[in-house]
Amino acid sequence: MIKGILLDLSGTLHVGSDPLPGAIHAVRRLTETGLPLRFVTNTSRMSRRELHQTLLTMGFEMPPEHLVTAPGALIASLKTENLRPFLLVDPRLEEDFADLDQSDPNAVVVAFAAEAFTYRRLNAAFRLLRHGAPLLATGRTPYFQGEHGLQLDAGPFIAALEYAAGVKARIFGKPSAAFFLQASAAVGCRPEDLVMVGDDAVSDVGGALAAGLQGILVQTGKYRAGDEAKIGTEGAVVLPDLEAAVSWILRRAG
């Protein structure tokens, strides 16, 4: 039985600034059921405020508190641990870190940074890591589906820093089990009663199944034929798109 739903954003609801066919109607169907619904994402290409506004502009209706983001989880940890971040992030995300002390940084934060992944900034992060700063990241996804094809995500840059500095990153977004359990608590469901829908076989579906949730892989966005083999845990459902996933969910909701 399904009592709550988690939806990925990029590649599942939209690609770039364009909603995927049927996705707006599919989200509306879920909303009208009254089932607990959260939108979970590792997206770090913009601030939470801008992300919410972008989704509204596309036609997806949701209150901002229904967005569960990897940057949000990471920022909460920075505050709890009194860490001062050196940011390797997209400039549009920096406003989410504005109330944190960033002087004399003692932690390195990596998210998708696009052109901000310069040698100078990567080298500064490397030196901090060599002096004992922890490496914190929103996710280690290797690539995503952009408007003009597949694009590198933050994962390869995290791997480079790990290799060079001899450290291991702490991941705060998908596929971290802690992230899925945090989302489960947000909807008030037991993990086994919650289903995660996404286009990433490893981060969305494999991570959800490993954390005890149910998982649906949709064949949109970054999905490519054969991705099912990457999931690594049995029990995933594979469906063509979000509309098909919603129909499957509603037949099993209670």
In-domain check, residue 55: no
Residues 139 and 179 grouped into a single domain:
no
The alpha carbons of the chain give a radius of gyration, in whole angstroms, of 18
Please give the model's pTM, rounded to 2 decimal places. Answer: 0.88
Query: Pick from 102, 112, 159: which is nearest to 135 by CA?
Result: 159
Query: pLDDT tens, position by position, for the chain (254 residues)?
Result: 899 999 999 999 999 999 999 999 999 999 999 999 999 999 898 999 999 999 999 999 999 999 999 999 999 999 999 999 999 999 999 999 999 999 999 999 999 999 999 999 999 999 999 999 999 999 999 998 887 899 999 999 999 999 999 999 999 999 999 999 989 998 999 999 999 999 999 999 999 999 999 999 999 999 999 999 999 889 999 999 999 999 999 999 96
Where among 171, 186, 208 does a domain terminate?
Answer: 171
Residues 151 and 184 grouped into a single domain:
no
Residues 185 and 93 grouped into a single domain:
no
227 in Cβ contact with 201 (< 8 Å): yes
Query: Pick from 238, 20, 42, 75: which is nearest to 143 by CA?
Result: 42
Query: How far, CA to CA in Å, does 60 sit from each of 18, 22, 43, 55?
Result: 11, 11, 16, 5
SS3 state at 221: coil
Residue range(s) defining the domain that contains residue 211: 4-42+174-252
- Integer Cα distance of 191 and 193 in angstroms: 5
The strand ranges marked E within the chain are 4-7, 14-15, 18-19, 37-41, 67-69, 85-88, 107-110, 135-137, 143-146, 149-152, 170-171, 194-198, 214-218, 237-239
Where among 120, 151, 171 does a domain terminate?
Answer: 171
Residues 193 and 247 grouped into a single domain:
yes
Cross-strand bridge partners of residue 149: 146
Cβ-based neighbours of 8, under 8 Å, separated by 6 or more: 39, 40, 41, 174, 196, 197, 198, 199, 200, 204
Other residues' Cβ atoms within 10 Å of the Cβ of residue 237: 17
Where among 171, 197, 217 does a domain terminate?
Answer: 171
Instruction: Assign residue 12 the CATH number of its domain.
Output: 3.40.50.1000
Q: How far apart are the first and last CA of the chain?
A: 6
In-domain check, residue 52: no
In-domain check, residue 132: yes
In-domain check, residue 58: no
Residues 90 and 153 grouped into a single domain:
yes
Q: How many structural domains are present in the chain?
A: 2
Q: Could you tell me what percentage of the chain is helix, strand and coil, using 3-state DSSP and rounding each to the nearest 5?
A: 45, 20, 35
